[in-house]
Amino acid sequence: MTQQSETQAPLTHARPSVGSIAAHRPHALAATTSDLEPDLDADLDHFEDGAESDPDLPQGRFLDRERSWLAFNERVLELAEDPNTPLLERANFLAIFASNLDEFFMVRVAGLKRRIATGVATRSASGLRPREVLEMIWSRSRELMARHAACFQEDVAPGLTEEGIHLVRWPELTEAEQARLGTLYRRKIFPVLTPLAVDPAHPFPYISGLSLNLAVVVRNPHSGHRHFARVKVPPLLSRFLEASPQRYVPIEDVIAAHAHLEMLFPGMEVLEHHMFRITRNEDLEVEEDDAENLLKALEKELMRRRFGPPVRLEVEESIDEHVLNLLIRELKISEDEVYPLPGPLDLTGLFGIAALDRPELKYKKFIAGTHRDLAEVESASPPDIFAALRERDVLLHHPYDSFSTSVQAFLEQAAADPDVLAIKQTLYRTSGDSPIVDALIDAADSGKQVLVLVEIKARFDEQANIKWARKLEEAGCHVVYGLVGLKTHCKLSLVVRQEGDNLVRYSHVGTGNYHPKTARLYEDIGLLTADPQVGADLSDLFNRLSGYSLRENFRRLLVAPHSLRDGLVARVGKEIQHHRAGRPASVRIKVNSMVDEAVIDALYRASRAGVPVDVWVRGICALRPGVPGLSENIRVRSVLGRFLEHSRVFAFGNGGEPEVWIGSADMMHRNLDRRIEALVRVSDPAHRASLNRLLETGMSDSTASWHLGPDGDWTRHATGPDGRPLRNVQEMLIDARRRRRGTATP
Burial class (CB in 10 A: 0-12, 13-18, 19+), 672: buried
DSSP per-residue string spanning 644-689: EE--EEEEE-GGGS-EEEEES--BSHHHHHSEEEEEEEE--HHHHH
Largest CA distance in the chain: 93
Half-sphere exposure of 338 (CA within 13 A, CB side): 19
Exposure string of 416-448, with b = 16+ CB inside 10 Å and e = fewer, is ebeebebbbbbbbbbbeebbbbebbbbbbeeeb
Q: How far apart are CA 158 and CA 94, in angstroms?
A: 14
Own/partner pairs, 330-339, CB within 8 angstroms, 24+ separation: 330/13, 330/15, 330/16, 330/204, 331/207, 331/278, 333/278, 336/135, 336/138, 337/138, 337/310, 337/311, 337/312, 337/313, 338/313, 339/141, 339/142, 339/145, 339/312, 339/313, 339/314, 339/315
Exposure string of 250-267, with b = 16+ CB inside 10 Å and e = fewer, is bbbbbbbbeebbeebbee
Burial class (CB in 10 A: 0-12, 13-18, 19+), 628: exposed
Name residue 623's beta-bridge partners: 62
Q: How far apart are CA 156 and CA 144, in angstroms?
A: 16
Expressed in angstroms, the distance from the first to the final Cα of the chain is 50
Active-site residue numbers? 489
Query: Kindly report the CA angle at 123 between 334 and 113, in degrees rounded to 5?
Result: 25
Query: Kindly report the CA angle at 374 between 373 and 377, in degrees rounded to 5?
Result: 90
Helix (H, G, I), strand (E, B) or coil at 400: coil
Half-sphere exposure of 104 (CA within 13 A, CB side): 25
* Cβ atoms of residues 513 and 429 within 8 Å: yes
* Cβ atoms of residues 279 and 240 within 8 Å: no
* Cβ atoms of residues 205 and 330 within 8 Å: no
- 266: preceding bond cis by omega (within 30 degrees): no
Q: How far apart are CA 181 and CA 174, in angstroms?
A: 11
Which residues make Cβ contacts (< 8 Å) with residue 565, sequence separation at least 6? 596, 598, 599, 672, 673
Burial class (CB in 10 A: 0-12, 13-18, 19+), 29: middle
